C-alpha cells in the first residue's frame, strides 16, 4: 500500500475548467457596441481609435491632416501587464483546481485592469504625441477644453472596454 487515499475525484472538473480557460481570450479595445459616436461623426469610435493608434493621413474638414500615432491601447496594456499577469496566473490556478467560475472572474479582472490603464493613458495625456497648433486652434474656436490628445469630448475614452470571449 502506498498510503495515498483519494477522497474526491475532481479530474472532470479540472479538465472542464482547463478546456474552458484555453478557449477564452481577453480583449481590450472598442467593441462594436461602444463604437457609435454621440456627436454624429461619420467615423465611429473604433475607426477613430484605430487611426489614432496607428497614425494616418486623413481628410478633416476639407483639409488633409497627418495624425501621429498615439498607441493608447498598447501603452495601457503594457502599463498594466504586471497586474494583469497576476490575474491570468490566478485564472490558471483556479482552472487547475477545477474552479471554472473563479477562473472566469480572474479573466474579467484582468480585462478591467487593462481597460482602466488604457483609459488612464488618455486621461493623463502626457505620454501621447501632442496636438498640432491647428488642432489646438480649432478646439479653442469650438470652445472645447484643454490640450490633451484624444480628449475633446470624451467619446473615445468612454468607448474603451474589454470583453472575455470564446476564441
Question: Where are the domains positioned within the chain?
Answer: 11-166
Distance of CA 165 to the CA centre of its chain: 14
| Cα gap 18→96, rounded to integer Å | 7
Q: Which of the four pLDDT bands, split at 50, 70 and 90, describes residue 10?
A: confident
Distance, CA of 16 to CA of 10 (rounded, Å): 10
Identify the band that residue 13 occupies on the pLDDT scale cut at 50, 70 and 90. Answer: confident
Give residue 6's pLDDT: 61
**Residue range 16-40: mean pLDDT, rounded:** 84
Q: In this model, does residue 1 exceed pLDDT 60?
A: no
Average pLDDT over residues 18-28: 86
User: What are the pLDDT digits (tens) for 42-80?
Assistant: 889 999 999 999 999 988 778 888 999 999 999 999 999
What are the Cα distances from residue 115, in Å, to 5, 39, 43, 68, 112? Answer: 45, 23, 22, 22, 5
d(CA 107, CA 95): 11
Residues 97-136 have pLDDT tens digits of 888 899 999 999 999 999 999 999 999 999 999 998 988 9
**Using alpha carbons only, what angle is made at residue 30 by residues 27 and 33, rounded to the nearest 5 degrees?**
105
Radius of gyration of the chain (CA): 22
Confidence label for 81 from pLDDT (cuts 50, 70 and 90): very high
**What confidence score (pLDDT) does residue 106 get?**
97
DSSP letter at 43 equals S
* Single pTM value for the model: 0.85
Amino acid at each position: 500500500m502506498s498510503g495515498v487515499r483519494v477522497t474526491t475525484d475532481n479530474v472532470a472538473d479540472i479538465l472542464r475548467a482547463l478546456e474552458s480557460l484555453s478557449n477564452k481570450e481577453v480583449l481590450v479595445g472598442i467593441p462594436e457596441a461602444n463604437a457609435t459616436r454621440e456627436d454624429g461623426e461619420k467615423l465611429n469610435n473604433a475607426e477613430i481609435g484605430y487611426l489614432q493608434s496607428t497614425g494616418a493621413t486623413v481628410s478633416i474638414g476639407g483639409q488633409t491632416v497627418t495624425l501621429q500615432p498615439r498607441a493608447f491601447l498598447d501603452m495601457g496594456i503594457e502599463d498594466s501587464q504586471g497586474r494583469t499577469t497576476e490575474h491570468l496566473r490566478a485564472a490558471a490556478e483556479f482552472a487547475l483546481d477545477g474552479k471554472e467560475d473563479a477562473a472566469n472572474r480572474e479573466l474579467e479582472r484582468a480585462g478591467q485592469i487593462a481597460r482602466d490603464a488604457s483609459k488612464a493613458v488618455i486621461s493623463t495625456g502626457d505620454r501621447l504625441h501632442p496636438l498640432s497648433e491647428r488642432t489646438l486652434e480649432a478646439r479653442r474656436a469650438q470652445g472645447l477644453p484643454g490640450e490633451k490628445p484624444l480628449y475633446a469630448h470624451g467619446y473615445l475614452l468612454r468607448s474603451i472596454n474589454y470583453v472575455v470571449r470564446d476564441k
